[in-house]
Amino acid sequence: MRDELAKLDVMTFFGPVKFGPTGQINSLEPPVFQLQGGKPVVLSPALIKQGEFKLGVN
C-alpha cells in the first residue's frame, strides 16, 4: 500500500496531494478560509486561492 501511495500525485480540491516513500503526506498545505459575504473563500495556498484577506465585517 505504501509503495502505491508513494506513486500518487494528484490535484484535489485542497490542492496537490503527494506521499513520500514512508507513506507520509508531504505536499498538502491545509487551506485557510475566511467567510466573506456569508460564503467561504479560500485565502491560501496560492494554488487554490479564491480571494484576498479582508478586515472587518462584510
- Report which residue type is found at 12: T
Peptide bond into 16 cis (omega under 30): no
Distance of alpha carbon 45 from alpha carbon 10, whole angstroms: 16
pLDDT at site 58: 56
Q: Tens digit of pLDDT for each residue in 1-58?
A: 778 878 888 888 777 888 888 888 887 778 899 999 999 999 998 888 999 999 986 5
As a whole number of angstroms, the distance between CA 58 and CA 54 comes to 9
**CA-based max dimension of the chain:** 48
Contact 43, 53 (CB under 8 A): yes
What pTM was computed for the model?
0.57
